[in-house]
Amino acid sequence: MQAIFDASWRRRALGGEPAAVQLLADSALLPLFRFCFHRVGGDRHKCEEVVQETLLRALRELDRYDPQRGGNQIFPWLTGLARNEITRVLGRDKHAVSLEALWGRMDRDLRAIFARLEQEPFPDELMQRDETRAMVNATMAQLPPHYRQALEAKYVEGRSMREMAERDGGTEKAIESLLTRARQAFRDTFLALTRNLELELT
């Protein structure tokens, strides 16, 4: 999610400016879908409902969004709204209680993970293993968008750091630093997800 959601954008959106509202929808739709999909058990219909209701709620409660607090990144605020919508949707299904509890435990781990990104990077070859593909997809969906986009550019699209730097208008050193943090976030998130799933199955 590369768009800037600063105080100026917030004022325009609160004023009902169509372009500002459309910017939110265009930027948030796919990242939110990825974030929510595994949290509703891979149910596309439920996921679409959650995403739609999250965006509608975001527009209704936009006055509560503080651009300065999030560094002009709206995704963390949106995922907080999405978690509430997921709880509501899963609450209609008595069989989904364990899924909600599982993701509740994961969220606690993930918040701690994203607060510290200083250990050894995750082995790159894991991104290619068939047996872990589902967990890789679930992990990627939970990453902040700029980390996910960097990993996809490097390991899915096969871009060089020079190409990534030219595309983003930065330096190769900055891209290398971003990839280091992204790999660490991926590593810790993957381990948190697998650890919680193992606990759920025992």
Q: Are residues 86 and 157 in the same domain?
A: no
* Percent of the chain topping pLDDT 90: 4
Nearest to 3 by CA among 73, 82, 63, 76: 73
Which is more confidently placed, 24 or 187? 24
User: Apex CA 51: angle with CA 103 and CA 150, to 5°?
Assistant: 75
Q: Are residues 88 and 4 in the same domain?
A: yes
| pLDDT of 103 higher than 70 | no
Q: What is the pLDDT of residue 53?
A: 92
Asked if residue 177 is part of any domain, the answer here is yes
| pLDDT of 40 higher than 60 | yes
Q: Are residues 135 and 201 in the same domain?
A: yes
Q: Are residues 17 and 87 in the same domain?
A: yes
Q: Are residues 126 and 69 in the same domain?
A: no
Mean pLDDT for 145-154 is: 84
pTM: 0.53
CATH number of domain containing 32: 1.10.1740.10
Residue 12's domain comprises 1-92
Q: How far apart are CA 54 and CA 24, in angstroms?
A: 12
Q: Are residues 5 and 67 in the same domain?
A: yes
Q: Are residues 87 and 164 in the same domain?
A: no
Please identify, among 46, 77, 92, the residue that sits at the C-terminal boundary of a domain: 92
Which is more confidently placed, 65 or 129? 65
Q: How far apart are CA 14 and CA 17, in angstroms?
A: 8
Asked if residue 101 is part of any domain, the answer here is no
Q: Are residues 84 and 13 in the same domain?
A: yes
Which is more confidently placed, 192 or 151? 151
| pLDDT of 163 higher than 60 | yes
Which is more confidently placed, 122 or 52? 52
Q: Are residues 74 and 124 in the same domain?
A: no
| pLDDT of 160 higher than 70 | yes
* CA 40 from centre of chain: 15
Q: Are residues 67 and 7 in the same domain?
A: yes
Which is more confidently placed, 195 or 128? 195
Question: Which pLDDT band, with edges at 50, 70 and 90, does 54 fall under?
Answer: very high
Q: How far apart are CA 86 and CA 100, in angstroms?
A: 8
| pLDDT of 43 higher than 80 | yes
| Phi (first) and psi of residue 116, to 5 degrees | -140, 125
Nearest to 37 by CA among 140, 106, 121: 140
